[in-house]
Amino acid sequence: MDKIIIRGGQQLSGSVRISGSKNSALPILAATLLTKECCVIQRVPDLSDVHYMLQILAHLGAEVERASGTVTVQAERVNTVAPYEIVRKMRASVCVLGPLLGREREATVSLPGGCVIGDRPIDLHLRGFAGLGAAVRVHAGNVKVFAPELHGTSISLKGKSGTTVLGTDNVMMAAVLAEGITVIEDAAREPEVVDLANFLQKMGAKIEGAGTSRIVIEGVKELHGAEHEVIPDRIEAGTFLIAGAIAGKAVTVNRVRADHLTAVTDALRDCGSILNGSNGTLSICANGDRKPLDLKTQPYPGFPTDMQAQMCALLSTVAGESSVTETIFPQRFMHVSELKRMGAAIELDGSTARIRGVGGLSGAPVMASDLRASAALVLAGLIADGMTEINRVYHIDRGYEMIDEKLIDLGAQIERVKV
């Protein structure tokens, strides 16, 4: 088990290359199960979550090869049971349900367990499968979906906290091989959903409206192999932009889709940073006049919940009163108590963090609890006085490829230590 040690106070400058998107690569890799033919996916980030997905594909019978950022998958034959041992390591494993149901008309996957960021049911996924005509059985910790036939239908994926990203992906992947037309209302509009739809279309699927809240899918008999490059990771890019805002002179992120980050760059401009960008590059520099902010997370194109913790770290150092309201995962504030250990002045009021900016943070031993919370602790450590020691960094390796090396290239004093 590694830990990361950061000596704060270094001014960051330079450029960083953004990796492929974790939240796009995972459902796209699952979608390769929809065909017997070979699929080649490029720009797949080297992350533990990706390893888990490749393990699941191999367990389901697919031939899987990986050569640096390119993954080749051929699922000539598949079995339809994804066991607890693998699924428990990663919730996103649930997105093999749709492809298996679509292709084999049945699938059994262990129900995902609890999650520190909050309640994460899959009722909307199951509602979608039932709408296509599948029977759904939950028994002994497993969910089994099966249907002699799948028929297109109209389904709303609106839940108590809005729509669902992986639910939209899962229903889309089942519907592409269903008989007739499926209309998904209240669909998620995230760029990762669009990237999956683009890959499915390359495989021969008929999909319209991805990126809007209404997706129309005309089922086809079968799909063929395809090649696809995963989009850049907008959350990794956003995290490095905040590193630039919190501890930077001038930081540039390369290989990024600025149009996927508008809510984040708008928020950073509102709290005083200067941002410029074109052709896949975004640069940020602080202009010394930072302003507090009131922020609310929302489904895309709103401010992403996966950037909320990192923003709390930044606003902890911005003079004045800020507030951050979490609407997607109302309890997603595990980072707050650790930031307070570093001297941040944050009070939780229901699903709102009320932040009073302090003059400085101090380094301390802290505990990572989940992927984005650990990113927030790294950002706080960059500006803190003295040494910050982050434990359980396996959380960060789930979603950030070589984060310590990339920060060192920007001038940070950071090292990874084996415990």
Interaction site with ligand EPZ (CB under 6 A):
23, 26, 92, 119-125, 159-161, 164-167, 192, 305-306, 328-329, 371-372, 399
CB 86 within 8 A of CB 93: yes
Indicate the residue among 113 and 121 with the shorter CB distance to ligand EPZ: 121
Q: What is the DSSP string of 34-59?
A: G-SSEEEEES----HHHHHHHHHHHH
Indicate the residue among 50 and 339 with the shorter CB distance to ligand EPZ: 50
Please name which of 34, 360, 380, 376 lies closest in space to residue 196, comparing C-alpha atoms.
Answer: 34
Min separation Cβ 315 and ligand EPZ, Å:
19
Indicate the residue among 53 and 407 with the shorter CB distance to ligand EPZ: 53
- Whole-angstrom Cα distance, residue 213 to residue 190? 10
Q: Which two tokens stand for residue 413?
A: 């004093």
Indicate the residue among 121 and 141 with the shorter CB distance to ligand EPZ: 121
Indicate the residue among 273 and 297 with the shorter CB distance to ligand EPZ: 297
Amino acid at 345: A
**One of 38, 115, 271, 312 is an active-site residue; which one?**
115
Q: What is the DSSP string of 161-226?
A: TB--HHHHHHHHHHHTTSBSEEEEES----HHHHHHHHHHHHTT-EEE-BTBSEEEEE--S-----
CB 104 within 8 A of CB 73: no
- Whole-angstrom Cα distance, residue 150 to residue 264? 40
Min separation Cβ 24 and ligand EPZ, Å:
8
Q: Which two tokens stand for residue 355?
A: 């932040």
Q: How many CA atoms lie within 13 A of 296 on its CB side?
A: 3
Min separation Cβ 294 and ligand EPZ, Å:
20
Interacting residues of 160 by C-beta distance below 8 A, sequence separation 6+? none
Angle at 312 between CA 308 and CA 315, to 5 degrees: 130
Min separation Cβ 120 and ligand EPZ, Å:
5
Q: Is 115 a catalytic residue?
A: yes
CB 341 within 8 A of CB 368: no
Min separation Cβ 36 and ligand EPZ, Å:
26
- Whole-angstrom Cα distance, residue 154 to residue 245? 44
Min separation Cβ 11 and ligand EPZ, Å:
28
Amino acid at 239: T
Indicate the residue among 306 and 404 with the shorter CB distance to ligand EPZ: 306
Active-site amino acid positions: 115
